Chains A and B, each alone.
Chain A
């Protein structure tokens, strides 16, 4: 349907329309100043994820106690988003220059580094040094952070976790299984349990990472602590036979049914419950699970029946079992623009008090020094804390040095690897392709 206009008039009209449209767009695009563009922050705004309740609760406790003066000057205000939409939210806020004073800086270190490169993240090492509280961070936590974030301290160690295998002492005893020192012993133990109709491992295939962790830790044991750094540097490929071997070993566990039925639809909480209800004998997890282990309501097998062992050694491998995979949980950082004196007061207060508050109230181990003596809730917590304080060298996890895309690809395909719908070499190829695509 033509409008029957002379061409000139029509062109003028469309120009006019386009002009108005672009003007309107420009005004809306530039109008998004938000909270970030004002000079001094008015509150200690903290963007976190819904799933993580510990930091939020501990900070609230501190704002009423140890950090009351900092809180009076700059009141704490917590906002949460579901973890799955955190990355999107951060990108939007960063694009509008409206990042809060403190925020969870992404699900993968890659995103945090991206934010830091564009000047959105405070130089925490320098700031904490000038505040005189840098020594309140555990050296082990600092070295883990530097390994993850390209040699810089880009996040605060609100958590400091090591990972290993939690096991059910009672089930081990009843079936005559000693704590396995090697991978072969672990597989033999699992076979014994499976023969007795006990599910050897519980793992969340829906999350994916609890399964890829097994692949990476196997790699650290068989090829040594630099196994995945080599992949990141392009000196090795995940498709090399010695790398595929790790995926094959983990896939073999799945093939024998050691993860139970329908591992792809098991979510994190279900996997945790399977272990804490005594339905599964072993559970690879980080030390943050101690909070659940210590909670008598959740833990039906009793904390005294839970043990913690390092991931076993691989015969003839270059790694050793005292190299624990470690992490600092969800990276939480402080914005560069809003870091002023009042924020500094909060930061030093957190550095001095968070360690003991989190341990006392939540049984959560952080990378901050514990300045007031806290009695451990149970034997397994003591065991893990001792392990942390004596461990000499740490390694990372499978996706630690991956791009966000490769991280997602790896974690969404993990369930297929153990369910048998994806061959080990195919899994490694898929992840390697995603790494190359960036």
Chain B
């Protein structure tokens, strides 16, 4: 076995097909798209090179600044929200419901399998103010508060989006973290309890450190997903009001396919790639250090 894997030709033959397919469908388009970012134009007019004009435009385009800020804000809040909510659910499963958590687990996981567009429409109706007053506003009216037009301002629309996405994904993270918690050996918990650790102290000093690896991978997973958010924003607000809830992905999409400026769209895509890379590196470094200490 060792002899086969040590042979270069064998490596080339084994890796070749996969590498070829990967290059064709991943690497080549990435480089291609990078090439587009030095051009101006679209499929109708053809493309003309315009040097680094797109990059300088990127720096003084207020819409990019707004979209980048929105993306980061959204990623940070949703990541923290869904991982904490997921972790709390997982703790609930393991320490309170114990063996009988299957039903609750299924219920919490249910929104994960729903199509995003359906969830978007559901929340639109849930928070709507006109033509019919939605359930949330009816509730507010019942306690004597005026109806709020949730989708009328960027601030409130943002929070509806956050609530929706946390609700949609917490079940998934709960299952992921549940797997991590189940792995903690019973003996360790038992001996900690004998030493007098219970409740919050047990979680803080025993459970949390032992489930840190899976928590970290959830974080990386979640950040990468939320930085690239697209479908739930399109389904709920379509980036509105104005461009109040437009993340980088949607702005890139609009620029390329609605305003037919493929070159600038590619430049925005490149910015998003760099942001994802940087954030992943930071999280990875932090998690490495923590793991060695923990």
Contacts and interface: CB of A to CB of B under 8 A. Distances in A.
A60 interface: no
Given A91-B257, A261-B129, A262-B130, A416 B44 contact: no
B230 to A, nearest CB: 15
A266 B131 contact: yes
Interface in A18-52: 18, 20-22, 24-25
A91 B44 contact: yes
Interface string B2-38: 0000001001100100011001100110001000000
A91 B259 contact: no
B23 A416 contact: no
Contacts, number: 126
A17 B19 contact: yes
B43 A92 contact: yes
A17 B20 contact: yes
A415 B240 contact: yes
Nearest to B24: A21
Nearest to A417: B242
B226 interface: no
Contacts of A9: 8
A126 interface: no
Nearest to B61: A437
A25 B258 contact: no
Contacts of A13: 12
B128 interface: yes
B154 interface: yes
B130 A261 contact: yes
A114 B44 contact: yes
Interface residues of A, number: 49
A266 B128 CA distance: 10
Interface stretch (A129-137, A187-195, A298-306, A405-413): A405-413
B178 to A, nearest CB: 33
Interface in A361-418: 403-405, 408-409, 412-413, 415-416
Interface in B25-80: 27-28, 32, 42-46, 61-62
Contacts of B62: 433
Kindly name the residue among B45, B124, B130, B147 whose own CB sees the greatest number of chain A CB atoms within 10 A.
Answer: B130
B239 interface: yes
B152 interface: yes
B14 to A, nearest CB: 11
A36 B23 CA distance: 31
Nearest to B262: A91
Contacts of B135: none
A175 interface: no
A406 B151 CA distance: 22
A4 B12 CA distance: 11
Interface residues of B, number: 41
A127 B259 CA distance: 31
B243 A412 contact: yes
A260 B8 CA distance: 73
A24 B124 CA distance: 45
A422 interface: yes
Contact of B242 (A17, A92, A262, A413): A413
A403 B259 contact: yes
B87 to A, nearest CB: 33
Contacts of A117: 45
Contacts of A265: 124, 128-130, 149, 151-152
A3 interface: yes
Contact of A421 (B42, B124, B154): B154
A428 interface: no
A95 interface: yes
Contact of A21 (B8, B20, B242, B254): B20
Interface in B250-267: 254, 257-261
Nearest to B133: A261
B106 interface: no
Given A3-B8, A17-B20, A264 B131 contact: no
Interface string A413-431: 1011001011000000010
Contacts of B124: 265
B43 A95 contact: yes
Contacts of A437: 61
A422 B155 CA distance: 13
A182 interface: no
B153 interface: yes
B241 interface: yes
A180 B157 CA distance: 37
B152 A404 contact: no
Interface in A67-102: 87-88, 91-92, 94-95
Nearest to B46: A118
Given A88-B258, A91-B44, A91-B257, A419 B152 contact: yes
Contact of B241 (A95, A273, A403, A415): A415
Given A264-B152, A403-B259, A430 B23 contact: no
A293 interface: no
B130 A22 contact: no
A3 B5 CA distance: 11
A111 interface: yes
A53 interface: no
Contacts of A91: 42-44, 257, 260
Contacts of A264: 149, 151-152, 240-241
A115 interface: yes
Nearest to B44: A94
A262 B239 contact: no
Given A17-B23, A421-B241, A261 B44 contact: no
Given A264-B241, A413-B242, 20 more contacts: A17-B19, A21-B24, A87-B257, A118-B44, A118-B46, A120-B44, A261-B149, A262-B149, A263-B152, A264-B149, A264-B240, A265-B130, A265-B152, A273-B131, A403-B259, A404-B260, A409-B242, A416-B153, A419-B152, A419-B153
9 contacts: A17-B19, A21-B28, A91-B44, A111-B260, A114-B45, A262-B149, A262-B151, A415-B241, A422-B241
What 4 A-B pairs come out closest when comparing CB atoms? A95-B43, A262-B130, A262-B129, A413-B242
